[in-house]
Amino acid sequence: MTCSLYAIPHSLYSGRARSYLIKNGIVFKEFSSGHESFKAEILPEAKLATIPVLRTEDGKVIRDGAAIIEYFESSNGRPCQPKTPRQRIISALFDLIGAEGLLRPAMHYRWNFPEENLSFLHYHFFHSQRQHPEREAKTQHMMDKMRYAAMIFGVNDVSVELVETLYMEFLLALDKHFEQCPYLLGWKPCIGDFGLLAPLYAHLGRDPKPLQIMQQQAVHVYRWVERMNRPDQDVAEYYQAGSDYLADDQVPETLLAVLRVIAEDLVPETIAAANSINAWLAENSVPSGARASRYLGKNESKCRFVVRDQLLEAGAQPYRFFQLQQVQDVYQGCTDQDRAAIKALLRPYGLEALLTTRLDRRIEQRDNLEIWV
Ligand SMILES: N[C@@H](CCC(=O)N[C@@H](CS)C(=O)NCC(=O)O)C(=O)O
């Protein structure tokens, strides 16, 4: 039996896991979440109806893109984790950025351009539903739910201009980076490449409106998106290609320029979300082992933060801190000398704050759920 990946082309988190499987030569067959087996066989073990979910060769069910990647990384000697400290942190940081840091542009460019995107989206949402008399109604319900999620992430009439400006600055900076080398840290993908692909494939590199922007204004990013979905290295345009991460723990200037833009909302939002979730933890007695849901309460846990003199409001999501823990775990595992090098690398962009911003309770994954420890 080969692995089965329950995923759909237009799903953000599916793109991350799929690319990892492709790049690591793991044979799999992909099924839609609308396939009968998803509800009948997968859901009872996956617990939540999110994708991606993997069924391994020996029948184990793993829900969550990060957990799927960790399953293979931990059993294969961590082929996609750089060995040196600065590169390791950068890789983990881009994993966080991809999973959490680009949700506003991803959702904006998907949902706020109906003329360009709607029929394309309908096709995909429809085919992720089971063949069922209420298939169309469920499709509409799911699309409405995702439109609403765009607002929860902080896209509204006031913030939209800032969301677009930040995205374009990020995209053009990333384009300059990929002009120099084909992956974030050199000649092969790291964990951070897979994380970053999540928003840049399904939404920003595939929906008609943002795809056109990427193709017309950031051809090197577009090529990286293609490259991340191919099993070979796919570096024909780089005439002196290497095969490994850059030597001597190098982090290219072009990548730091990307981080400079990203930090502008990633850092204040993460600090604000930590404050909001910590206040909630202080007010609510949360037993050890209780589920850490996507949002606290009924979506009421908002955090507010300022970016370029503008006040933004977004849902505070515990999952952001599950990802951030990975960055902090790498940092904690370093020698004093390596920690100093990491701090010096991140300090100019204010990203050093992410090494110490944390929730008062740790989040872990157990039996396919995120739980409070
Ligand atoms: N933490 C999960 C999140 C998965 C997730 O939210 N997937 C979306 C599709 S990209 C989904 O299934 N949404 C359905 C829903 O929320 O009902 C992961 O990284 O895999």
Instruction: Tell me the DSSP string of 264-298.
Output: HHHHHHHHHHHHHHHHHHHHS---TT-B--SSSTT
pLDDT band, very low/low/confident/very high, at 238 (cuts 50, 70, 90)? very high
Rounded CA-CA distance 169/264 in Å is 11
Q: What would the two tokens of residue 63 be?
A: 């829900």
How confident is the prediction for the chain on average, in pLDDT? 96
Q: What would the two tokens of residue 346 be?
A: 């991140």
Q: Report in angstroms the alpha-carbon separations of 291 from 54, 234, 242, 286, 303.
A: 21, 41, 44, 9, 21
Supply the pLDDT for residue 301: 79
For the chain, what percent of residues have pLDDT higher than 90?
Answer: 95
Tell me, using a 6 A CB cutoff, whether residue 318 lines ligand 1: no
Taking alpha carbons only, the member of 266, 353, 273, 264 closest to residue 317 is: 273
Would the pLDDT of 321 be above 80? yes
Rounded CA-CA distance 5/17 in Å is 9
Q: Report in angstroms the alpha-carbon separations of 261 from 172, 193, 211, 314.
A: 10, 17, 21, 19
At 363, the amino acid letter reads: I
Tell me, using a 6 A CB cutoff, whether residue 295 lines ligand 1: no
Say if residues 176 and 257 touch (Cβ distance below 8 Å).
yes
Mean per-residue pLDDT, 151-167: 95
Mean per-residue pLDDT, 261-275: 97
Query: Which phi and psi angles does 366 have, rounded to 5°?
Result: -140, 130
Domain residue spans in the chain? 3-75
Would the pLDDT of 297 be above 60? yes
Mean per-residue pLDDT, 203-208: 98
DSSP string, 47-91: -S--S-EEE-TTS-EEESHHHHHHHHHHHTT-TTS-SSHHHHHHH
Apex CA 293: angle with CA 46 and CA 282, to 5°? 150
CB-based contacts of 229, cutoff 8 Å, min separation 6: 18, 19, 22, 201
Ligand 1: centre distance to CA 103 (Å): 12
Tell me, using a 6 A CB cutoff, whether residue 319 lines ligand 1: yes
Which residue's alpha carbon is at the smallest distance from atom 13 of ligand 1? Answer: 50
Which residue's alpha carbon is at the smallest distance from atom 11 of ligand 1? Answer: 50
Would the pLDDT of 124 be above 90? yes
Check residues 301 and 194 and name the one with the higher pLDDT. 194
Rounded CA-CA distance 184/252 in Å is 9
Would the pLDDT of 286 be above 90? yes
Say if residues 128 and 8 touch (Cβ distance below 8 Å).
yes
Would the pLDDT of 298 be above 60? no
Residue linked to tokens 């929730």: 359
Would the pLDDT of 183 be above 60? yes
Rounded CA-CA distance 310/292 in Å is 30
Residues 186, 336, 73, 104, CA torsion sign: negative
Which residue's alpha carbon is at the smallest distance from atom 20 of ligand 1? Answer: 64
Which residue's alpha carbon is at the smallest distance from atom 18 of ligand 1? Answer: 64
Tell me, using a 6 A CB cutoff, whether residue 52 lines ligand 1: yes
Taking alpha carbons only, the member of 3, 22, 12 closest to residue 234 is: 22
The pairing of strands 302-307 and 310-315 is antiparallel
Mean per-residue pLDDT, 228-247: 97
pTM: 0.97
For the chain, what percent of residues have pLDDT higher than 70?
Answer: 99
For residue range 30-88, what is the model confidence (pLDDT) as tens digits?
999 999 999 999 999 999 999 999 999 999 999 999 999 999 999 999 999 999 999 99
Reported residue count of the chain is: 373
Helix (H, G, I), strand (E, B) or coil at 159: coil
Taking alpha carbons only, the member of 79, 73, 33, 78 closest to residue 55 is: 33
Helix (H, G, I), strand (E, B) or coil at 188: coil
Rounded CA-CA distance 71/65 in Å is 10
Check residues 5 and 1 and name the one with the higher pLDDT. 5
Say if residues 324 and 358 touch (Cβ distance below 8 Å).
yes
Helix (H, G, I), strand (E, B) or coil at 364: strand
Residue linked to tokens 């960055």: 327
pLDDT band, very low/low/confident/very high, at 182 (cuts 50, 70, 90)? very high
Say if residues 283 and 267 touch (Cβ distance below 8 Å).
no
Atom of ligand 1 nearest to the CA of 66: 19
Rounded CA-CA distance 218/172 in Å is 6
Please state which of the four CATH numbers 3.40.50.2000, 3.40.30.10, 3.30.2130.10, 3.10.270.10 is assigned to the domain occupying 3-75.
3.40.30.10
Residues 263, 266, 269, 274, CA torsion sign: negative
Mean per-residue pLDDT, 237-241: 96
